[in-house]
Amino acid sequence: MRTLSIIITALIATTTWAQGTFTPGAVWNDTDGNPINAHGGGIMYHDGTYYWYGEYKGHHTYRSPGVGWECYRTDAGGVSCYSSRDLYNWKWEGVVLEPDTVNPYSDIHPTMVIERPKVVYNEKTGKFVMWMHIDNHNYGKATAGVAVSDSPTGKFTYIESMRPNGSESRDITLYKDDDGKAYILFSSEGNGTMHICLLTDDYLRPTTEVARNFIGQSREAPAVFKHNGKYYIVSSGCTGWSPNEADCAVADKITGPYKQLGNPCRGNNADKTFYGQSTFVLPVHGKPGTHIMMFDRWNKRKLDDSRYIWLPIDFDGEKFTITWNDTWSLR
């Protein structure tokens, strides 16, 4: 009996994503057979290829010295990129924004925090623009960082970090609308309120056009998408690396005001977002109305072994649900 349970445990521990299916929470290997290391990520579709950018977590997790809360971290390893044409098989493209290991004062030195990178293409400048959360070891710096590249696979050149219009910026996402305008959405004001800020035409700077949403509601991990002309934001509460209940909200304009629709998750552990946290919603190219919700399942004591939970979004009128599936495929 004991031998059987050891074999079953070993099998579960080594379960990987089978060809042509998504297996949320299992180890997901790239086409070289290595676990995908792209956390807090986002995906850009460009010229027939999907590019998945994420935090490249170092292999040693430790607690940030002198910080009271559960500030687990790894050295900032930069931003990784994987490419795919089918969303199941991902090719390693390397670390496309490399950490600066030379200058100890650099925003992207390994002692810093580089989180939630997202990339969009700017048609006017022909550049790929990355926005990300840049912080120091205790998350007190609270800034947004920007980098740029001529190619989706880099290398990206880091430009700078800033507090947009003087406001704190932690969990961040980037959204490019159909009209070519791009926005950053970030947790601000002590993570209490979300700011939605229009970027300049080159996407490299914030403008002074800012909308405050979810005022005093402490939402983070924003993931934004558009469906049938409406804008949706999925977000989490603020509990560090520990899971909490997701929320979704809808608006007629990207800048809000947003109407909260409650927790979209259904099934086992839906009240804990399946032990995950939102990072991105991916519209599937060539399948109008098909969206994949991407969550991170953080492993705070071994952050590089944090897993990915991808699930389909099911619409019913203006509302949608995200239901747990052990394995699933795109139809």
Sites of contact with ligand DGJ (CB under 6 A): 40, 115-116, 171, 220-221, 240-241, 277
And the tokens for 288?
Answer: 């109008």
Instruction: Kindly give, in sequence order, each residue whose CB lies less than 8 Å from that of residue 285, ignoring residues fewer than 6 positions away.
Output: 45, 50
And the tokens for 159?
Answer: 């430009």
The values of phi and psi at residue 306, to 5°, are -65, 145
Closest separation in Å from C-beta 250 to ligand DGJ: 22
Closest separation in Å from C-beta 187 to ligand DGJ: 8
- In angstroms, the CA 144 to CA 183 distance is 12
Residues 95-125, buried b or exposed e (16+ Cβ, 10 A)? bbbbbbeeeeeebbbbebbbbbbbbbbbeee
The label of the residue with tokens 């002198």 reads 66
Nearest residue (CB) to ligand DGJ, 64 versus 290? 64
The amino acid sitting at 106 is S
Nearest residue (CB) to ligand DGJ, 285 versus 300? 300
Nearest residue (CB) to ligand DGJ, 127 versus 170? 170
Nearest residue (CB) to ligand DGJ, 221 versus 282? 221
Nearest residue (CB) to ligand DGJ, 133 versus 176? 133
Closest separation in Å from C-beta 245 to ligand DGJ: 14
Closest separation in Å from C-beta 116 to ligand DGJ: 6
Q: How would you class 144 by CB atoms within 10 Å of its CB: exposed for 0-12, middle for 13-18, buried for 19 or more?
A: buried
Nearest residue (CB) to ligand DGJ, 93 versus 220? 220
Closest separation in Å from C-beta 169 to ligand DGJ: 12
- In angstroms, the CA 282 to CA 116 distance is 15
The label of the residue with tokens 């997701």 reads 246
Closest separation in Å from C-beta 278 to ligand DGJ: 9
CB 276 within 8 A of CB 264: no
- In angstroms, the CA 223 to CA 246 distance is 11
CB 210 within 8 A of CB 193: no
Nearest residue (CB) to ligand DGJ, 33 versus 66? 66
Closest separation in Å from C-beta 305 to ligand DGJ: 16
Reported as type and span, the H/E element at residue 61 is: none
Nearest residue (CB) to ligand DGJ, 114 versus 198? 114
Closest separation in Å from C-beta 264 to ligand DGJ: 18
| Alpha helices in the chain, H assignment, sequence order | 2-13
Q: Which residue is nearest to ligand DGJ (CB)?
A: 240
Q: For Cα atoms 196, 202, 203, give the angle at the middle one, nearest 5 degrees.
A: 30
